[in-house]
A and B are shown apart, each in its own frame.
Chain A
Amino acid sequence: MTAAAEKAPPDGTREEVGRARRRKEDARLITGRTQWTDNIQLPGTLHVAFLRSPLAHARIQQVDTAPARGLPGVVAVYSGADFAAEQGSLPCAWPVSDDLVVPDHPPMAVNEVRYVGEAVACVVATDRYKAADALAAIEVDYEPLPAVLDMNEALADGADKVHEAGNKAFTWTFAGGDIDAAFRDAPVVIHRTYVQQRLIPSAMEPRAVVATTDGDTCTLYSATQIPHVLRVMLALTTGIPEHRLRVIAPDVGGGFGSKLQVTAEEVLLLLMTRRLGRPVKWTESRSEGNLTVHHGRDQIQRVKLAADRDGRVRGLSVDLLADMGAYLMLVTPGVPLLGAFMYNGIYKMDAYDFRCTGVFTTKMPTDAYRGAGRPEATYAIERVMDELAAELGIDPIDVRRRNWIAHEEFPYTTIAGLTYDSGHYEAATDRATALFGYADLRAEQARRRQSRDPVQLGIGVSTYTEMCGLAPSRILGSLRYGAGGWEHAEVRMLPTGKVEVVTGSSAHGQGHETAWSQIVADSLGVPFEDVSVLHGDTAVAPKGMDTYGSRSLTIGGMAVLRACEKVKDKARHIAAHLLEASAEDVEYTGGSVRVRGTGAGRTIQENALAVFTAHDLPDGVEPRLDAQATFDPENFSFPHGTHLCAVEVDTETGMSRIRSYVAVDDVGKVVNPLIVEGQVHGGLAQGIGQALFEEAVHDADGNLLTTTLADYLVPSAADLPDFITDRTETPAVSNPLGVKGVGEAGTIASTPAVVNAIVDALRPYGVNDVRMPCSPERVWRALNGGAS
């Protein structure tokens, strides 16, 4: 039985928080009344198409836009030179180190292109077909330059350069404990190199932008996760004053980090609408998006682990190469460093040493993709813990148990310097092994090994944690991030007693309208149906930090709760006056302010009306029953869990099939189990995608070969199993809701669980690694002695 089914609401008497409420946002989504950016048809709209570089690296000799100008429907044609004076440089908001090289990044290339897909010109026309037609008439002369594709080669002496300043973007180090002592005389030392292949986030809604101006104010509609951050960044980049710029994220069809960006197209469309005085619109095709939506992962991890013979980990050393691609985008250099604090996972150790080198290559820049640094780190530690278990002949769960932080040791400050506030790894693991039938599957595995069954069974373990709820502003400051980590909310009682909630957290599939309604319904004691949630428009929700890093509930939800508390304070004050009681004698309970010990009371709805009429308010009280709150967390939150995966590997064909998958997650208190389970499912699918199917592949010249969904294998329903999901509930103590966040958990946990299972199946054949994605070919090669 699933968590969602258990908690299905049988009646209306339960508290809202914890109920599997069906989502409010579904009504428009299942009937096709959704407002996607591409649906927006403003009168007089012109359509933009971009001409993109076919070369990974070249000098632009000349762009001749003249032949395209007279073509039917063409209104304007621009090259980079036309924007050079005003386009600025796309921002990097995370200057991680003193030695960081931040190359100039013009939204439209002017002198040089550095990845296939970089925009070099564009056509503005009366419809999208005509705009695309006219691209063919633009002539560009390129002088090819050497492509730089391999990180190790890029760092070698005399390597061809991506930028004048060289190919090294930065070096960043962290050291905790005495690493030399940990490795000195260590009885067991394990060295491994893991490759985090480049991924394409592949939100189903392609990016789209509509920009318009009334001559005074510019409005930008964009399929973005970050309308608020975007507004600030666009104001800084284009010089359009912030108060004359409105950014709207209408319904957004998934993001997974890929829409956490300030893109070239957003900047350029703003410039174009200003120039032309008409609305302009651009929607990418999938092939264009695979080239130009920032990519994820792409790291090489050299990992060294020292342990005692009883399996106790002494120390861990990580040397990371992180491919930045050609430029630094919004948080490009920060992504690998989000992992820096997670390589130690849930384990205690004496020393930990981390070094990251950011490397420029002539590829699309990388940036946040679901998990952002933490899946990579978790993969490395969970893979290497399995290697340690294999080396010592200990069960992989036992080796973890010998090292993890025990429940009674929380709060625990890790070797990476984070304080994990809560956790119960024993409970999650016990539950997972029971649901999985761990012992039986191990027995079956032994039988298959014994009988040399051509189909071997592998069991993969992943006991992950992650830092969520990005983030305490002070910590972000110490890491040189360019913004804070707070979130904002406003709660307004309307005259008729209904409630409007304004949130700075910008949902794109997460279900905020539902979850926030549940929180407000409980806090104010109003019906769930009486709450509506507004978001995603800087004119409606003027303050916010948006949605990423599993921060919405832990920070945005907390801001909503705080705003409710302030509303209740006001209601108490006003009602006490109306009830002729002193403020100390009244209490707020069940949606009413009541005088203690008497039957007298006033509902919040009555108070709302009294405030509207304002006929009899206490002196000095403004006629409004609303409040704003901004919440800045003091710590991250640390969801954790135990995932177990059984994979059947056909040793003759290399084919892997997931036979069962158990995910037991501890995300603290749960507001809506239905939504939580959905987040876990989706996360698992993406993590399994990395393990088995997905990879952005380039040829030797730097052309992306996986530009379509036929080549870049986003898993389909037929590729995935049913998941068994369950939860343990160890409330976070770092926020009053006790919540931890769930958006990235499945993705973080599942990749190592699957690969550990495949490697476990192949161990009797002398295999100790398969490079991701573990395609049948790679598995077959690993089995047959070739490089995987």
Chain B
Amino acid sequence: MARITVNVDGIRFEEEVEPRLLLVHLLRDRLGKTGTPIGCDTSNCGACTVLLDGKSAKSCAVLAVQADGCDIATVEGLAAGGRRHPVQTAFHEEHALQCGYCTPGMIMAAIDLLRTDPDPSDEAIREGLEGNLCRCTGYQNIVRAVRRAASIDGPVNGEQAAAREVPA
């Protein structure tokens, strides 16, 4: 067992974990952060994507112990202030989700994409989200949503999420 400290959506947790525990299971099964789902066991689908110290990471491919001392932002924390993140709004407006299972991961990946490329082309969006699979939408509206979010004024996407995190 190892003792770790993580900051998840601005709340600090201290946990005793088995070294093999996956971050996504820590989030879901131990911390009750079920907003981040699991879609595969080979790190291919991206459903479990979170921001780890501001950068997107597949939380099924990270051990909980590796996240010790990290800030973790999940989809649940994005609208913490009662206002939706522009990417959330854009997904809603553009009908970029159907069953919504890929959506938390897709939104987190899109936030990271816009952080590194604030004005991406359609092609860059498609390439950038290649690691996030959606079986429902055919992606077209997801691409539209990311483009829409990119054009929204206000705090640059991603920074806004990071700004809400409480330092450890």
Contacts and interface: CB of A to CB of B under 8 A. Distances in A.
Contacts of B140: 681, 720, 722-723
B45 A709 contact: yes
Nearest to B101: A253
Contacts of A39: 28, 34
Contacts of B42: 286-287, 708-710
Interface stretch (B61-69, B89-97, B156-164): B89-97
Contacts of B104: 32
A206 interface: yes
Nearest to A673: B95
Interface string B76-112: 1011000010001001110101111111100100000
B37 A254 contact: no
Contacts of A36: 34, 37, 101
Nearest to A39: B34
Interface residues of B, number: 59
Given A23-B92, A709-B45, A204 B135 contact: yes
A111 interface: no
Interface string B41-52: 110110100000
Given A31-B75, A129-B20, A682-B98, 16 more contacts: A22-B93, A25-B100, A30-B97, A32-B74, A32-B76, A204-B102, A204-B136, A511-B98, A678-B95, A678-B98, A678-B141, A714-B135, A717-B130, A720-B138, A722-B122, A722-B143
Contact of B100 (A30, A285, A286): A30
Contacts of A32: 33-36, 74-76, 104
Interface string B102-137: 111001000000000000001001110111111111
A25 B134 CA distance: 17
A378 B31 CA distance: 49
B88 A254 contact: no
B30 to A, nearest CB: 10
Contacts of A23: 92, 95
A476 to B, nearest CB: 27
B18 interface: yes
A205 B20 CA distance: 23
A205 B28 contact: no
A511 B95 CA distance: 10
Contacts of A709: 40, 42, 44-45, 133
A716 B40 CA distance: 15
A275 interface: no
The CB with the most chain A CB atoms within 10 A, among B32, B37, B78, B138, is that of B138
A710 B44 contact: yes
A675 interface: yes
A462 interface: no
A685 interface: yes
14 contacts: A30-B92, A30-B100, A34-B100, A203-B135, A204-B45, A204-B133, A205-B39, A205-B101, A251-B99, A253-B101, A685-B138, A716-B130, A717-B139, A718-B129
B101 A718 contact: no
B142 interface: yes
B38 interface: yes
Nearest to A25: B100
A30 B91 contact: yes
Contacts of A203: 99, 101, 135
B143 A717 contact: yes
A22 B92 contact: yes
